[in-house]
Structure 1
Amino acid sequence: MSSKLIQSPSMAAASRGTNAKMLLSFTNLNRNTMSFTENPFRLRPMFIGKVTEQSSASSPNQQQEEEDETDDITVSQIKEDLYEALKGINRGIFGVNSDKKTEIEHLVKLLECRNPTPEPTGELDKIGGCWKLIYSTITVLGSKRTKLGLRTFVSLGDLLQQIDIAQGKMVHVLKFDVRGLNLHDGEFRIVASFKITSKSSVEITYESSTIVPDQLMNIFRKNLNLLLGIFNPEGQFEMSYLDEDLQVGRDGKGNVFVLERTEKP
């Protein structure tokens, strides 16, 4: 038994020769002398191959499961989740964290994929009336917020959109709550006209703007252009989702707007 464990001189020499050949191969990178076919201890990448096959095989199944779960979500559930996600962020006007923004954008896209009114400009009766902004990716941050005095004695109220289909007009009304100057509220009105440019979009043209009362106008006079630059609806606007009580739209700059129908004048 022990004699089988002892190498003969020729076998030992051959083994030393093989090891020497392998050392030379690794120390001299410019020479390709080692051949796995000549080496009795060949390496077979079987484990790596199996892992790759398992990973590639499970990935499509996982994607399909995610798509099936998404398809099962109803519009009512998406809207419920969206309203929940919008709680406590003040319409996003003063910014939201990236996770929250991603969550909202995901829900908005799910709604857009289930749009019951793919050609809204052909059903204008669904568009007319008063809408209230509940979310927008337009933000008032940093110096803009400071210049508008929105950190001290002026706060934003509702932002309403009144659409008159017969006249081809829309009025954006931004409400303010003012502390001091014996004022309790005021508003910034932007009047615009619109014309249909496609089955789902309109072109909005600015016409005029006013701030009432006069004391509020005196506060914003120096920064009126800044106020218009933020809240003026002028430009291309596409309605990507529309039902009886909810509207989603995108302007030409890629900003997202979510509005709900309201009875407020």
Structure 2
Amino acid sequence: MSATAAVLRPIHRHLTHLRASQSEGIFPYPLRLEIRKLPSSGRRRCLNERQAPIAGASAASTGTGAYRTTEDIKAELYLALQEELVEQLELRNPTPKPTDHLLYKVNGSWKLIYSTITILGSKRTKLGLRDFISLGDLYQTIDVPKERAINVINFSAKGLKLLTGQLTIEASYKIASKTRVIIKLETSSITPKQLMNLFQKNYDLLIDIFNPAGWLDITYVDDSLRIGRNDKGAIFVLERAAEQSV
């Protein structure tokens, strides 16, 4: 594990603990981190219209949000989780043609640490997220040789005793361009059966929220972090995970 990763992971765990009580009215996932629509900061320009930060400039010295290094931005992202920081990283993507390097850069296990997905209002109520069902971590395994991806979303339900389980979604993908893949939903399942019974009535709603089908652009990837944007406008930030975590 790199020195940077050694610093970032404890920060992430600490922030997770601090934000555990901030889940009212939002989607507390993963590890109860806030997953919400990011506030608008005015008219958003396309990434290819944004000017890259001046080399050597820092946020503190310029006041414009420019950062000294990519590692600085990643450290700030773990602390602040802002779309502006995501865009700063995307501008410095060290792998501009990620689909040419899927086996070495994307293959393996990942953990979702941030997303702009929301589950609010009636959807949240129907799925029981206001009362007795909590969402946990999402892990993703990419099998590049087989062109397959498996997403595992963990749940826990309160009752006479704590019930834990998971939603597993398997998908296939095809490369569409140097940055884009087209994803097709293959199968989905919930285990154990008791948890499936809780979601049975609204299973289609649950799958609709987590359905990965459509296109996904890989906008940033290095050895430890990956950012993607899909055709529904959602942003996903994932970090490398140990193989046994999935």
TM-score normalised over the length of structure 1: 0.66
Between the aligned partners of 1:228 and 1:71, the Cα distance in structure 2 is: 39
1:185 aligned counterpart, secondary structure: strand
The percentage of aligned residue pairs carrying the same residue is 53
CA gap 1:241/1:126 in 2 versus in 1, 3 angstroms: same
Between the aligned partners of 2:90 and 2:227, the Cα distance in structure 1 is: 8
2:149 aligned counterpart, secondary structure: strand
1:207 aligns with one of 175, 186, 202? 186
1:83 aligns with one of 78, 82, 85? 78
Instruction: Indicate the structure (1 or 2) with the bigger Cα radius of gyration.
Output: 1
Displacement of 1:133: 0.9
Give the counterpart letter for 1:223 in structure 2.
Answer: N
2:154 aligns with one of 175, 181, 198? 175
2:184 aligned counterpart, secondary structure: strand
CA contact (8 A) 2:182 2:216 kept: yes
Give the counterpart letter for 1:121 in structure 2.
Answer: T
Displacement of 1:254: 1.6
2:119 aligned counterpart, secondary structure: coil
Displacement of 1:71: 5.3
Q: Which has the higher contact order (CA 8 A, sep 6+)?
A: 2
The CA deviation string for residues 120-161 of structure 1, in whole angstroms up to 9 with x for no partner, is 111112101111111111100111111100121110010111
Q: Show the counterpart of 1:260.
A: 239
TM-score normalised over the length of structure 2: 0.71
1:218 aligned counterpart, secondary structure: helix
1:141 aligns with 2:120: yes
Unaligned ranges ≥5, structure 2: 1-50
Between the aligned partners of 1:221 and 1:260, the Cα distance in structure 2 is: 31
1:188 aligned counterpart, secondary structure: strand
Q: Show the counterpart of 2:100.
A: 122
Unaligned ranges ≥5, structure 1: 1-63, 87-103
Give the counterpart letter for 1:149 in structure 2.
Answer: G
CA contact (8 A) 2:67 2:73 kept: no
CA contact (8 A) 2:155 2:165 kept: yes
Between the aligned partners of 1:177 and 1:118, the Cα distance in structure 2 is: 39
The CA deviation string for residues 144-196 of structure 1, in whole angstroms up to 9 with x for no partner, is 11110012111001011111111110011110012225443100011100110
CA contact (8 A) 2:183 2:213 kept: yes
Displacement of 1:255: 1.1
1:152-167 aligned within 5 A? 152-167=131-146
1:228 aligns with 2:223: no
Name the Cα RMSD after superposition.
1.6
Between the aligned partners of 2:209 and 2:147, the Cα distance in structure 1 is: 23
Between the aligned partners of 1:213 and 1:130, the Cα distance in structure 2 is: 23
Q: Show the counterpart of 1:109.
A: 87
